[in-house]
Amino acid sequence: MKPLLIALPKGRLEEELLPRLKGSAFELDPKALKSRRLRIPMADPGLNAILLKGADLPRYVAGGVAALGVVGSDILDECPVDLMELADLDFGVCRLSLCGPAATSLERLRALPHLRIATKFPVATGRWLRQEGITAELVPLQSSVELAPVLGLADAIVDLVQSGRTLQAHHLAELAVLGRASARLVACRGQYLSEPDRIGPLARALAGLMKGGTAAS
């Protein structure tokens, strides 16, 4: 039987995630991790990991390349793919917030004749704007969103806020919280439902481990 692939995220969540896997069946081979190998063996010989950028990860899982994956809910909310979202793993927790220059307020932004909001999260932002009855032009950006109000590209931003230090460094403040984001365990619908005896126990073990328990190997 081919080793089963588990998609793990690079970047923000990776730093919190990898230490949780140590000593378990899901621990990544340290040599392979430092190399440029695509498939990284896990302690269980039946499992391999692939490290992916968060935005690409849901597609690998929904497309059935990886059976399981870990990804931020902020990314899941932006991409309409059909997969199972098995657990909130309660790490990588942050807020999705509307932020603007420290001197402004939500009321001031509402009053602008042409409000421009820069964001990497147009779906969640659009949903919140509709709920609030605010009309705005969304400026889609892929990185360093906090520069947009500083340099005059937008009046405000919607971005993830964890400690708030990046905002402070750019003289920005949180004006409204749109929602909470955290790491989620996802599964390929087809594999989860057509191979429940193989995928189900693995998913439960991985969720238990990530939430701070122990994983059955």
Partner 1 sequence: MPTHTPSFPDLLFADAARLRRWETLLMAHLDAAGYRELHPSLVMRSPDNPNTVRFFDGDQLVALRWDFTEALARTLVRRFQDPPQRLSYAGPVFRRPTNSWDPVERFEVGCEHIHVDREQRIEADRELAGLLMAVPALLGLEGCLLHIGHAALLRRPLEAEAIPRELGLEVARVLDRRAIHRAAELLQGHPAKDRLLAHAEILLSGPDGPGSLDDLARGPYGALLEAEALQLRRVLDRLSSRLPQGLTLRLDMGDLRGLGFYSGPTLRLWAPGAQRELAAGGRYDGLFPELGRPWFAAGFCVRLTTLLELGDPQEEAE
Each residue 137-176 as x (binds partner 1 by CB under 8 A) or -, in order, gives ----------------------------------------
State in angstroms the smallest separation of the CB of 9 from partner 1. 18
Residue 82 identity (one-letter amino acid): D
> Is the Cβ–Cβ distance between 78 and 125 less than 8 Å?
no
What count of other Cβ atoms lies within 10 Å of the Cβ of residue 57? 26
Chain length of the chain? 217
- The residue within the footprint of partner 1, chosen from 21, 124, 188, 207 (CB under 8 A), is 188
In the sheet where 47-52 sits, what is the strand order? 40-41, 47-52, 4-9, 68-72, 183-187, 84-88
**Could you write out the DSSP letters of every residue in 15-32?**
HHHHHHHTTSTTPBPHHH
CB of 4 to partner 1, least distance (A): 13
Contact segment (CB under 8 A) with partner 1 among 82-90, 116-124, 145-153, 164-172 equals: 82-90
Please work out the total of residues on this chain that contact partner 1, with binding judged by CB under 8 A. Answer: 24
Single out the residue of 16, 132, 174, 195 in contact with partner 1 (rule: CB under 8 A). 195
Closest to 115 in 3D by CA, of 148, 161, 160: 148
CA–CA separation, 46 vs 43, rounded Å? 9
Does 200 help bind partner 1 (rule: CB under 8 A)?
yes
Minimal distance, residue 59 CB to partner 1, in Å: 8
Of residues 14, 16, 56, 88, which one binds partner 1 by CB under 8 A? 88
127 near partner 1, rule: CB under 8 A: no
Which of 194, 213, 216, 217 is the binder for partner 1 (CB under 8 A)?
194
Amino acid identity of 87?
A: A
Summarize as ranges the residues that interact with partner 1 (CB under 8 A): 59, 62-64, 80-88, 184, 187-190, 192-196, 200
